[in-house]
Structure 1
C-alpha cells in the first residue's frame, strides 16, 4: 500500500536546467509500494540511509533508469534518497555512456560510476540538511558534465524540438532541417539518447497527456488537444506505456508525487 502524502519531499531553491532534483524521506512505519511510470527523462536515485529500495525484486541503494523505461515496481520503507530527472542531453555525459546502453533498463548506479557512487552516498549520509545534500549532488553533476562528452548538436536540437512541441512535431521533417539524412538522424539519436525520434515523441506526448488526465481533464479533451487521432489512440498509447487504462493511469501514486516533487 502507498501513502505518498506521508512522504517528506524537499526541493532545491535553484536547479540546473535539465536536472530536476528532489529529496525524499519515506517513513519506516508506512512502507510505499508503487509503480514507476515512464517519464521523458533519465531517472537517477541515490539512497543515503541504510535501507535499500526494492526495485522489481532487486535491492538497490542507487539506480539509473533509461529514457522511456518499462514500468517497474518499487518498494521503499524508511528510505532517504535524492532523485534526479535528467534531460537525456545531460544524462549522456553525466552517466558516461551512450543511452542506448541503458535503453529501457534499470541499472544499479554503482555499475556506471563504480566507487564514485558509494563515495557520494557517504557524503550525503553525513550531510545534515537537504540544501547541503543538493549542493553535493550538484557538485557531482558539474564534475561529470565537465569530464563527459556531449551529444551531437543536431541530436540536441531534435530533442528540444520534440520536447517543446509536447511530442506533436512531425519527426520525419526534422532530419531535413538538420541537414542529415533520415537514416543518420535515427542512428545517431537512437545511439546517444536510447530511443528513436518517433518513440521519443510518443513518450513526450504520453507524458503531457497523462499529466493532464491527473489534473482532471477529460480523455476526450486530452486526445483532441494532444495530437491523438481519437480517444482510442490515446487509450492505446497510455496502455503501451503504463499497462493500464487512462482512468487507472491518472490515479497512479507515482504521478501524484510529481505534483509535489516536480510541480508544473
Structure 2
C-alpha cells in the first residue's frame, strides 16, 4: 500500500510481512533514499551495522537515510510491518527533519513514545491482512502541522523526479541559491548533501530495474551512469556487492 498526499504524507509505502524460513538467517537492509520504520510483531528486530558494536534488538525501529547496509538477523520467523517514509513524511509525522535520525537506528519510542506504543498495540491486535489499512488510518489521523522547509524539499523532489540523474550545478541553477547555501539547507534537513541524495535515488532506481529483470547495460544507460562499470562500482561502494552479486544474494534471501 502507498499513501500519497494524505495530510502532506507524500511517499509512504506500507508493507506487512509474515515470513517463516527453514531456520535462522540474515538479510541485508539496503541503503536507500527513504527512512524505514519497522514494527516487529515477533521476537524483536535484531540488527547490526558497521557503525554499531554487536547486535541490537528493537520493537519499533526507525532507521534514517543511510549510505551503508545494515544486517537483519532472524530466527526463522519474521512478522510485522515495514513503512518506507520519504523525508517529507518523516517531517510531517514526527515534526523533525530526517537529518535527526540520519545514518542511525533508534527505537521509535525515543522519537514519539505515545505513537510508538499505540502503533505496536494496534498492530499486535490486527489480523495480518488488515495491518496496512490500520497503519494508513493511524498515519492519516496525525495532525501534521510541522513547517517543512520549502527550498530543501523542492530540491529533493527535483532529484527524485530526475531519478537521481542530475548534477549539483543543475540544482543550483534551478533553485536560484548559491551551491554553498543550497547544500547547507539540504544537509540540515536530510543529513546528507544533494550529491549523496542523487546517488542514493539513482541506486534505488537502478536496483528496482535490475530486480525487474532488466539488462544491466540498459539500466546503467537509462539511469545516467557513465557506463556499466560505473554502475558496478557504485553498487559495490554502497552495498559491498556488484549488481550481479546483489541480485544473487537477494534472490537467495527472499527466493
TM-score interval w.r.t. the shorter chain? 0.7 to 0.9
- Runs (4 or more) in structure 1 with deviation over 6 Å come to none
In the alignment, the residues of structure 2 paired with residue 222 and residue 134 of structure 1 have an alpha-carbon distance, to the nearest angstrom, of 32
Shift of 1:148: 4.4
> 1:214-252: CA deviations, max 9, x gaps?
233333322223211122221211111101112111223
- Select between 171-180 and 231-240 the one with higher mean Cα deviation: 171-180
Shift of 1:167: 0.7
1:140 corresponds, among 138, 141, 147, to 138
Shift of 1:119: 2.4
Pair 186,32 (structure 1): closer, same or farther in 2 beyond 3 Å = same
1:175 corresponds, among 153, 161, 172, to 172
CA contact (8 A) 2:67 2:200 kept: no
Aligned to 1:98: 97
Q: What is the TM-score of this pair, normalised by structure 2?
A: 0.85
Aligned to 1:9: none
Shift of 1:32: 4.4
Aligned to 1:7: none
Pair 32,150 (structure 1): closer, same or farther in 2 beyond 3 Å = farther
> Can you give the 5+ residue segments of structure 2 that lack an aligned partner in the other structure?
5-9, 49-54
1:207 corresponds, among 187, 204, 208, to 204
Aligned to 1:15: 3
Shift of 1:45: 0.9
Q: What is the number of equivalent residue pairs in this alignment?
A: 243
Which runs of structure 2 are paired with 1:97-136 in the superposition (5 Å)? 97-131=96-130, 133-136=131-134
1:24 corresponds, among 17, 20, 35, to 17
Is 1:186 aligned with 2:179? no
Q: What is the TM-score of this pair, normalised by structure 1?
A: 0.82
Pair 255,178 (structure 1): closer, same or farther in 2 beyond 3 Å = farther
